[in-house]
Amino acid sequence: MSGTSVSSPSINIAPRATGDVRRVATREAYGEALLQLGDEREDIVVLDADLSGSTKTRAFGAKHPERFFNMGVAEANMMGTAAGLAAMGKTVFASSFAMFAAGKAWEQLRQSVCVPNLSVKICATHAGLTVGEDGKSHQMLEDIALMRVLPNMKVFVPADAVEARQVIRVAAETPGPVYVRLSRAATPVVLADEYQFEIGRGTLLRDGGDVALAACGVEVAEVLEAAEILAREGIEARVLGLASIDPIDGELIRQAAEECGAILTAEEHQVNGGLGEAVAHVLVESRPVPMHMVGMRGEFGQSGKAGELIAHYGLDGASIAAAAKDLIARKG
Protein backbone atom coordinates (compact mmCIF):
# COMPACT_ATOMS: atom_id res chain seq x y z
CA MET A 1 0.00 0.00 0.00
CA SER A 2 1.13 3.56 -0.57
CA GLY A 3 1.05 6.39 1.94
CA THR A 4 -0.58 9.79 1.60
CA SER A 5 1.38 12.86 2.59
CA VAL A 6 -0.01 15.41 5.01
CA SER A 7 -1.15 18.48 3.07
CA SER A 8 -2.01 21.09 5.71
CA PRO A 9 0.78 23.50 6.72
CA SER A 10 -0.90 23.96 10.10
CA ILE A 11 -0.23 20.36 11.15
CA ASN A 12 2.38 20.16 13.91
CA ILE A 13 5.14 17.83 12.69
CA ALA A 14 7.08 16.80 15.81
CA PRO A 15 10.88 16.32 15.77
CA ARG A 16 11.71 12.72 16.70
CA ALA A 17 14.50 11.56 18.99
CA THR A 18 17.49 9.96 17.27
CA GLY A 19 20.30 7.68 18.39
CA ASP A 20 20.13 5.14 21.18
CA VAL A 21 16.72 4.84 22.82
CA ARG A 22 16.58 6.40 26.30
CA ARG A 23 13.99 5.29 28.83
CA VAL A 24 12.81 7.83 31.42
CA ALA A 25 9.65 7.90 33.53
CA THR A 26 7.50 10.98 32.95
CA ARG A 27 7.26 11.42 36.75
CA GLU A 28 11.05 11.94 36.80
CA ALA A 29 10.71 14.70 34.22
CA TYR A 30 7.94 16.25 36.31
CA GLY A 31 10.20 16.49 39.35
CA GLU A 32 12.96 18.10 37.30
CA ALA A 33 10.64 20.64 35.66
CA LEU A 34 9.03 21.50 38.98
CA LEU A 35 12.41 22.19 40.57
CA GLN A 36 13.34 24.53 37.71
CA LEU A 37 10.04 26.38 38.00
CA GLY A 38 10.55 26.79 41.73
CA ASP A 39 13.91 28.44 41.07
CA GLU A 40 12.37 30.81 38.52
CA ARG A 41 9.06 31.77 40.14
CA GLU A 42 8.23 32.69 43.71
CA ASP A 43 4.51 32.03 43.21
CA ILE A 44 4.96 28.29 42.65
CA VAL A 45 3.70 26.27 45.62
CA VAL A 46 3.76 22.46 45.82
CA LEU A 47 1.50 20.17 47.84
CA ASP A 48 1.94 16.41 48.20
CA ALA A 49 -0.05 13.66 49.92
CA ASP A 50 2.82 11.92 51.73
CA LEU A 51 4.22 10.46 48.50
CA SER A 52 6.91 13.00 47.57
CA GLY A 53 9.55 10.34 47.00
CA SER A 54 7.35 8.57 44.48
CA THR A 55 5.81 11.63 42.85
CA LYS A 56 9.27 13.24 42.62
CA THR A 57 8.29 16.46 44.39
CA ARG A 58 10.81 15.82 47.18
CA ALA A 59 13.60 17.77 45.47
CA PHE A 60 11.38 20.86 45.29
CA GLY A 61 10.55 20.48 48.98
CA ALA A 62 14.20 20.20 49.95
CA LYS A 63 15.17 23.36 48.05
CA HIS A 64 12.05 25.43 48.73
CA PRO A 65 10.68 24.18 52.06
CA GLU A 66 8.73 27.38 52.65
CA ARG A 67 6.65 26.64 49.53
CA PHE A 68 6.22 22.89 50.01
CA PHE A 69 3.53 21.28 52.15
CA ASN A 70 3.15 17.58 52.91
CA MET A 71 -0.57 17.26 53.50
CA GLY A 72 -0.41 13.65 54.64
CA VAL A 73 -2.74 10.91 53.44
CA ALA A 74 -5.57 13.43 53.00
CA GLU A 75 -6.03 14.06 49.31
CA ALA A 76 -9.42 15.77 49.59
CA ASN A 77 -8.02 18.20 52.14
CA MET A 78 -4.99 18.75 49.90
CA MET A 79 -7.19 19.86 47.00
CA GLY A 80 -9.14 22.23 49.25
CA THR A 81 -5.90 23.74 50.52
CA ALA A 82 -4.60 24.01 46.95
CA ALA A 83 -7.76 25.91 45.99
CA GLY A 84 -7.31 28.31 48.89
CA LEU A 85 -3.70 29.04 47.95
CA ALA A 86 -4.66 29.51 44.29
CA ALA A 87 -7.41 31.94 45.34
CA MET A 88 -4.65 34.00 47.00
CA GLY A 89 -2.74 34.23 43.71
CA LYS A 90 -0.41 31.24 43.95
CA THR A 91 0.19 28.73 41.16
CA VAL A 92 -0.28 25.42 42.94
CA PHE A 93 0.96 21.96 41.96
CA ALA A 94 -0.78 19.18 43.88
CA SER A 95 0.55 15.64 43.52
CA SER A 96 -0.40 12.13 44.47
CA PHE A 97 -0.93 8.81 42.75
CA ALA A 98 -3.60 9.05 40.04
CA MET A 99 -5.90 6.70 41.94
CA PHE A 100 -6.03 9.15 44.84
CA ALA A 101 -5.59 12.50 43.09
CA ALA A 102 -8.40 11.90 40.62
CA GLY A 103 -10.47 9.34 42.50
CA LYS A 104 -10.52 10.23 46.18
CA ALA A 105 -10.54 13.98 45.64
CA TRP A 106 -12.97 14.29 42.71
CA GLU A 107 -15.65 16.20 44.61
CA GLN A 108 -13.13 18.75 45.91
CA LEU A 109 -11.68 19.16 42.42
CA ARG A 110 -15.12 19.86 41.05
CA GLN A 111 -16.42 22.15 43.76
CA SER A 112 -13.31 23.95 45.01
CA VAL A 113 -11.06 24.03 41.93
CA CYS A 114 -13.11 23.80 38.73
CA VAL A 115 -16.21 25.77 39.70
CA PRO A 116 -14.13 28.87 40.62
CA ASN A 117 -11.66 28.07 37.80
CA LEU A 118 -8.54 28.27 39.97
CA SER A 119 -4.92 27.69 38.93
CA VAL A 120 -4.40 24.30 40.53
CA LYS A 121 -2.27 21.84 38.57
CA ILE A 122 -3.02 18.24 39.52
CA CYS A 123 0.01 16.17 38.55
CA ALA A 124 -0.94 12.54 39.06
CA THR A 125 1.72 9.86 38.87
CA HIS A 126 1.43 6.06 38.85
CA ALA A 127 -1.43 6.01 36.34
CA GLY A 128 -2.46 3.07 34.19
CA LEU A 129 -1.39 -0.56 33.92
CA THR A 130 2.29 0.33 34.06
CA VAL A 131 2.01 0.85 37.80
CA GLY A 132 2.69 -2.88 37.52
CA GLU A 133 3.03 -4.98 40.62
CA ASP A 134 0.86 -2.67 42.77
CA GLY A 135 -2.11 -4.23 40.99
CA LYS A 136 -5.68 -3.21 40.33
CA SER A 137 -6.10 -1.14 43.52
CA HIS A 138 -3.47 1.34 42.28
CA GLN A 139 -3.75 0.98 38.50
CA MET A 140 -5.93 4.00 37.80
CA LEU A 141 -7.68 3.36 34.49
CA GLU A 142 -10.54 5.84 34.76
CA ASP A 143 -8.87 9.18 35.50
CA ILE A 144 -8.95 10.64 31.99
CA ALA A 145 -12.73 10.11 31.92
CA LEU A 146 -13.14 11.67 35.37
CA MET A 147 -11.12 14.75 34.42
CA ARG A 148 -12.45 15.20 30.87
CA VAL A 149 -15.99 15.62 32.14
CA LEU A 150 -15.13 18.55 34.42
CA PRO A 151 -15.75 22.04 32.97
CA ASN A 152 -12.63 24.27 32.98
CA MET A 153 -10.26 21.29 33.44
CA LYS A 154 -7.54 20.84 30.83
CA VAL A 155 -6.26 17.26 30.46
CA PHE A 156 -2.72 16.43 29.29
CA VAL A 157 -1.08 13.00 28.96
CA PRO A 158 2.56 13.41 27.82
CA ALA A 159 4.14 10.71 25.70
CA ASP A 160 7.61 10.84 27.20
CA ALA A 161 9.97 12.77 29.45
CA VAL A 162 10.61 15.49 26.85
CA GLU A 163 6.91 16.21 26.44
CA ALA A 164 6.32 15.95 30.21
CA ARG A 165 8.82 18.75 30.90
CA GLN A 166 7.11 20.90 28.28
CA VAL A 167 3.64 20.12 29.62
CA ILE A 168 4.58 21.12 33.18
CA ARG A 169 5.98 24.45 32.06
CA VAL A 170 2.94 25.18 29.90
CA ALA A 171 0.64 24.18 32.76
CA ALA A 172 2.38 26.67 35.05
CA GLU A 173 1.85 29.45 32.52
CA THR A 174 -1.82 28.61 31.83
CA PRO A 175 -4.59 30.02 34.04
CA GLY A 176 -7.10 27.59 35.49
CA PRO A 177 -7.12 23.91 36.44
CA VAL A 178 -4.90 21.38 34.68
CA TYR A 179 -4.70 17.60 35.07
CA VAL A 180 -1.42 15.94 34.01
CA ARG A 181 -1.24 12.14 33.87
CA LEU A 182 2.24 10.73 34.54
CA SER A 183 3.74 7.25 34.52
CA ARG A 184 5.64 5.24 37.10
CA ALA A 185 7.58 3.11 34.61
CA ALA A 186 10.53 4.29 32.56
CA THR A 187 9.39 4.48 28.94
CA PRO A 188 11.12 5.32 25.62
CA VAL A 189 11.90 8.94 24.80
CA VAL A 190 10.41 9.45 21.34
CA LEU A 191 10.62 13.24 20.93
CA ALA A 192 13.67 15.40 20.30
CA ASP A 193 14.72 17.91 22.94
CA GLU A 194 13.69 20.85 20.73
CA TYR A 195 10.04 19.73 20.67
CA GLN A 196 7.51 22.32 21.88
CA PHE A 197 4.17 21.32 23.39
CA GLU A 198 1.12 23.46 22.61
CA ILE A 199 -2.30 23.30 24.25
CA GLY A 200 -4.90 21.88 21.88
CA ARG A 201 -2.31 20.71 19.35
CA GLY A 202 -1.45 17.14 18.54
CA THR A 203 1.67 16.03 16.75
CA LEU A 204 2.42 14.13 13.56
CA LEU A 205 5.08 11.58 14.47
CA ARG A 206 5.03 9.52 11.30
CA ASP A 207 3.35 10.05 7.94
CA GLY A 208 1.24 7.54 6.08
CA GLY A 209 -2.10 7.17 4.38
CA ASP A 210 -3.35 3.62 4.92
CA VAL A 211 -4.48 4.01 8.54
CA ALA A 212 -3.99 6.51 11.36
CA LEU A 213 -2.76 5.38 14.77
CA ALA A 214 -3.43 7.92 17.54
CA ALA A 215 -2.20 7.56 21.12
CA CYS A 216 -1.29 9.34 24.32
CA GLY A 217 1.11 8.62 27.17
CA VAL A 218 3.09 5.40 27.21
CA GLU A 219 1.08 4.07 24.25
CA VAL A 220 2.74 6.51 21.85
CA ALA A 221 5.88 4.38 21.82
CA GLU A 222 3.73 1.28 21.23
CA VAL A 223 1.91 2.73 18.21
CA LEU A 224 5.25 3.82 16.74
CA GLU A 225 6.40 0.21 17.08
CA ALA A 226 3.16 -0.93 15.46
CA ALA A 227 3.80 1.43 12.55
CA GLU A 228 7.24 -0.13 12.05
CA ILE A 229 5.71 -3.62 12.01
CA LEU A 230 3.08 -2.53 9.49
CA ALA A 231 5.69 -0.85 7.27
CA ARG A 232 7.52 -4.17 6.93
CA GLU A 233 4.29 -5.50 5.42
CA GLY A 234 3.93 -2.58 3.02
CA ILE A 235 1.32 -0.74 5.10
CA GLU A 236 2.01 2.94 5.77
CA ALA A 237 0.50 4.10 9.06
CA ARG A 238 0.22 7.72 10.13
CA VAL A 239 1.06 8.17 13.82
CA LEU A 240 -0.50 10.96 15.86
CA GLY A 241 0.52 11.98 19.38
CA LEU A 242 -2.43 13.45 21.28
CA ALA A 243 -1.04 14.61 24.60
CA SER A 244 -3.62 17.41 24.75
CA ILE A 245 -6.83 15.44 25.23
CA ASP A 246 -8.93 18.36 26.42
CA PRO A 247 -8.78 20.56 24.42
CA ILE A 248 -8.05 18.15 21.55
CA ASP A 249 -6.70 18.83 18.06
CA GLY A 250 -9.80 18.42 15.91
CA GLU A 251 -8.09 19.58 12.72
CA LEU A 252 -5.35 16.94 13.01
CA ILE A 253 -7.93 14.21 13.65
CA ARG A 254 -10.26 15.27 10.83
CA GLN A 255 -7.40 15.44 8.33
CA ALA A 256 -6.23 11.98 9.35
CA ALA A 257 -9.77 10.67 8.83
CA GLU A 258 -10.02 12.31 5.43
CA GLU A 259 -6.63 11.12 4.16
CA CYS A 260 -6.33 7.71 5.88
CA GLY A 261 -9.93 6.58 5.98
CA ALA A 262 -9.66 4.82 9.35
CA ILE A 263 -8.36 5.67 12.82
CA LEU A 264 -7.18 3.43 15.64
CA THR A 265 -6.66 4.89 19.11
CA ALA A 266 -4.53 3.36 21.86
CA GLU A 267 -4.50 4.27 25.53
CA GLU A 268 -3.52 2.76 28.86
CA HIS A 269 -7.01 3.53 30.17
CA GLN A 270 -10.60 2.35 29.88
CA VAL A 271 -11.93 2.89 26.39
CA ASN A 272 -15.05 4.32 28.04
CA GLY A 273 -14.50 8.04 28.48
CA GLY A 274 -10.87 8.11 27.41
CA LEU A 275 -8.83 9.24 24.41
CA GLY A 276 -10.75 7.01 22.00
CA GLU A 277 -14.06 8.59 22.90
CA ALA A 278 -12.54 12.07 22.62
CA VAL A 279 -11.39 11.27 19.08
CA ALA A 280 -14.72 9.62 18.23
CA HIS A 281 -16.53 12.76 19.41
CA VAL A 282 -14.62 14.82 16.85
CA LEU A 283 -15.26 12.32 14.06
CA VAL A 284 -18.95 11.69 14.67
CA GLU A 285 -19.65 15.42 14.41
CA SER A 286 -17.62 16.03 11.28
CA ARG A 287 -15.98 13.08 9.49
CA PRO A 288 -17.14 9.57 10.53
CA VAL A 289 -14.77 6.79 9.43
CA PRO A 290 -14.16 3.19 10.59
CA MET A 291 -12.51 3.32 13.99
CA HIS A 292 -11.13 0.95 16.61
CA MET A 293 -10.22 1.73 20.22
CA VAL A 294 -7.39 -0.19 21.87
CA GLY A 295 -7.54 0.02 25.66
CA MET A 296 -9.11 -1.58 28.69
CA ARG A 297 -12.63 -2.79 28.04
CA GLY A 298 -14.58 -2.78 31.25
CA GLU A 299 -12.13 -4.69 33.43
CA PHE A 300 -9.56 -3.91 36.08
CA GLY A 301 -5.88 -4.74 35.77
CA GLN A 302 -3.84 -7.19 37.78
CA SER A 303 -0.43 -7.39 39.39
CA GLY A 304 2.49 -7.99 37.04
CA LYS A 305 5.46 -6.38 35.33
CA ALA A 306 4.56 -3.32 33.29
CA GLY A 307 5.63 -4.69 29.92
CA GLU A 308 3.94 -8.02 30.50
CA LEU A 309 0.67 -6.33 31.39
CA ILE A 310 0.79 -4.13 28.29
CA ALA A 311 1.20 -7.25 26.15
CA HIS A 312 -1.40 -9.27 28.07
CA TYR A 313 -4.10 -6.67 27.48
CA GLY A 314 -3.25 -6.17 23.80
CA LEU A 315 -1.66 -2.75 24.20
CA ASP A 316 1.76 -3.67 22.76
CA GLY A 317 3.00 -2.80 19.30
CA ALA A 318 2.40 -6.25 17.79
CA SER A 319 -1.19 -6.39 19.02
CA ILE A 320 -1.89 -2.86 17.81
CA ALA A 321 -0.47 -3.72 14.37
CA ALA A 322 -2.79 -6.73 14.14
CA ALA A 323 -5.79 -4.62 15.17
CA ALA A 324 -4.83 -2.00 12.58
CA LYS A 325 -4.86 -4.60 9.78
CA ASP A 326 -8.34 -5.68 10.83
CA LEU A 327 -9.42 -2.05 10.80
CA ILE A 328 -8.01 -1.46 7.30
CA ALA A 329 -10.10 -4.39 6.09
CA ARG A 330 -13.20 -2.53 7.31
CA LYS A 331 -12.48 0.51 5.15
CA GLY A 332 -14.23 -1.16 2.20
Instruction: Report how far Cα 147 is from the mean position of its chain's Cα atoms.
Output: 12
Q: Provide long-range contacts, Cβ within 8 A and 24+ apart, for 295-299.
A: 295/265, 295/266, 295/267, 295/268, 295/269, 295/270, 295/271, 296/129, 296/141, 296/268, 296/269, 296/270, 296/271, 297/270, 297/271, 298/270, 298/272
Query: Partners of 211 in the beta sheet?
Result: 237
Cα separation, 35 vs 222, whole angstroms: 30
Is 75 marked active-site? yes
Q: Which of 237, 253, 243, 192 is closest to 218 using CA atoms?
A: 243
Pick the catalytic residue from 40, 75, 198, 267: 75
Residue pair 255/212 in contact by the 8 Å Cβ criterion: no
Annotated active-site positions, please?
75
